[in-house]
Chain A
Amino acid sequence: MIDYLVTILLIAGIYAIFALGLNLEWGFTGLLNFGHVGFMAVGAYTTVLLSMNNGVPLLLSVLAGMVLAGLLGAFLGIPTLKLRADYLAIVTIGFSEILRYLLLNEEWLTNGPIGLCGFPRPFQDLVPIQSYNLFFLVVVLSVLVIIYSGIELLIRSPWGRVLKSIRENEEIATSLGKHVFSYKVQSLALGSMIAALAGSLLAFYLQYINPRNFMPIETFYAWIIVVLGGSGNNKGVLLGAVLFWGFFSGSRFAQEYLPLSPTQVGSMRVMFIGLMLIILMMFRPQGILGKKEELSLER
């Protein structure tokens, strides 16, 4: 039972980091990123490939994944962030799918659909295998604390105020002497780096990665977490991650009580999440901890 709780907290922690990156982009800057998972994949694959085949130290491989994801984020942002918000959404979702197909087909590098395993994990020689998950939970939670506090500091800084002003009204931010475009690129790059970090952690946790780990639905899990907890509220993201994975994992037990096949229960869970979101949108569109006036719909 403890093991089970540890697993849920681990995955919730990793997705909380992942969703914090999205919340920086969407919740604070108003950027519509539908391809967040692509940057997670960049982080996971970069870290694994560098550390496994080339013997690059783990910390460096993680940092390399983050830098690459940050550059890719900026690269995608530069042609699209001057356009309307929906173009970024289209381009990012396209990017994440193109990337997944690359990972699937460039077998010489990624081992294609079979994926990669047997790569090193942090401190694996020092921690006994039975308690590795518990140890790794501490690692994930420490990273989460650092990312959470870092973002909280940033959004309270003058830089963060400019992001919020862009979310609320781009034209005025511009007319107050802010180079809106460059702030948006920075926000997207930073959010992507955070996604990459979550990707590296996910790889260490799963011990096995393949392109199927990075389907578009993962992006929307992050969206559900952000929307559920409350856009623009980092505490909400933490709560959203725990609730989402608590439900997602807990509902596996529903199998015992329902006269349905495992496939049907799987689909039921997803349907139930959809239903919950619809109800949430009807009665509390700002999410559990969000503020109504921060909903950036009117733009």
Chain B
Amino acid sequence: MLRVDNVVAGYTDVDILHGVSIQIDKNEIVTVIGPNGAGKSTLMKTIIGLTKFRGGEILFGGESIVGMRPDKIVRKGMGYVPQERNIFPTLTVLENLEIGVFVDRGCLDENLGEVLRIFPELRGRLHQKTGTMSGGEQKMVAVGRALITEPALLLLDEPSSALSPKLRDLLFQKIEAINETGTAITMVEQNAKKALAISDRGYILEMGKNRFEGEGKSLLEDADVRGLYLGG
């Protein structure tokens, strides 16, 4: 479904990614982990078209999306939830969700039902300003908003950051529930153990390059990976 092949990319004049390759198949959950500065968030931004691309290839559904505008990529069926400041605080929950929609009203009603099925916590609070909600609730709004266009692939940048352990577990359950509806998920995570435990496969990046890759469970059990990236 998505193939990132030997990508070099970064910001105005610094490259962060020096040849990263990852692949996501239909219905998979794939986690990308790595130390700070490894280029995990940059990888997400590069896939959705928000960085300066300098080399390699990205294929989405067999079609090259290199150099395509983010809004076009989103319309091709990709959703993206940034790590921080990912809601519009002065808008209500419903308005935040509506921004995600770009087709007709009927589709909104239908997909809104689906989003609320996954996040029943938002049901009674559609008219609350999101700026007044807790961090966990805001995260649900941000993920729900990306889901409203029914993306085939959802990119999550550190979905569990700044959440309490309890909320983190809840969010990972939600991610599995979203995956069960047929949405492939790629996430970047600091909470590597939890994330790998629900992932089909994982990649480890370091200094903008691929370091390890493998099935989620086998990475969790690999002695080197444990020692280097999972804190023993």
Question: Chain A: residues with CB nearer than 8 A to chain B?
Answer: 158, 161-162, 164-165, 168-169, 171-180, 291, 293-294
Contacts and interface: CB of A to CB of B under 8 A. Distances in A.
B90 A164 contact: yes
A201 to B, nearest CB: 32
A227 B86 CA distance: 27
What is the size category of the interface that chain B forms with chain A?
Answer: 20 to 34
Interface string B168-182: 000000000000000
Nearest 7 Cβ contacts at the A-B interface: A177-B74, A168-B88, A175-B80, A179-B71, A177-B71, A174-B70, A165-B88
B82 A175 contact: yes
Interface string B98-111: 11111000000000
A163 to B, nearest CB: 11
Interface string B123-156: 0000001010000000000000110010000000
A175 B74 contact: yes
Contacts of B100: 176-177
Given A176-B74, A178-B71, A293-B129, A161 B146 contact: no
30 contacts: A158-B98, A158-B101, A161-B99, A162-B99, A164-B88, A164-B91, A165-B91, A168-B88, A168-B89, A168-B90, A168-B91, A169-B86, A171-B50, A172-B87, A172-B88, A174-B50, A175-B48, A175-B80, A176-B74, A176-B99, A176-B100, A176-B145, A176-B146, A177-B70, A178-B71, A178-B99, A179-B69, A293-B89, A293-B129, A293-B131
In this complex, the member of B50, B99, B149 whose beta carbon has the largest number of chain A beta carbons within 10 angstroms is B99
Given A165-B99, A177-B71, A172 B86 contact: yes
A174 B80 CA distance: 10
Nearest to A296: B90
A177 B68 CA distance: 12
Interface of B: 48, 50, 69-71, 74-75, 80, 82, 85-91, 95, 98-102, 129, 131, 145-146, 149
Nearest to B155: A175
Contact of A177 (B85, B86, B129, B149): B149
Given A161-B95, A169-B85, A175 B145 contact: no
Main secondary structure of the interface of A (DSSP, over half): helix
Contacts, number: 61
A176 B99 CA distance: 8
A165 B75 CA distance: 18
B82 A291 contact: no
Given A162-B99, A293-B129, A293-B131, A175 B88 contact: no
A55 B91 CA distance: 48
A171 B95 CA distance: 17
Contacts of B89: 168, 293
A161 B149 CA distance: 17
A232 to B, nearest CB: 8
B88 A169 contact: yes
Contact of B71 (A169, A171, A174, A291): A174
A164 B130 CA distance: 14
B90 A291 contact: yes
A175 B129 contact: no
A179 B87 CA distance: 18
B138 to A, nearest CB: 12
Given A175-B70, A294-B90, 18 more contacts: A164-B91, A165-B91, A168-B90, A168-B91, A172-B82, A174-B70, A175-B80, A175-B82, A176-B145, A177-B100, A177-B149, A178-B99, A178-B102, A179-B69, A179-B71, A291-B90, A293-B90, A293-B131
B90 A177 contact: no
Contacts of B90: 164, 168, 291, 293-294
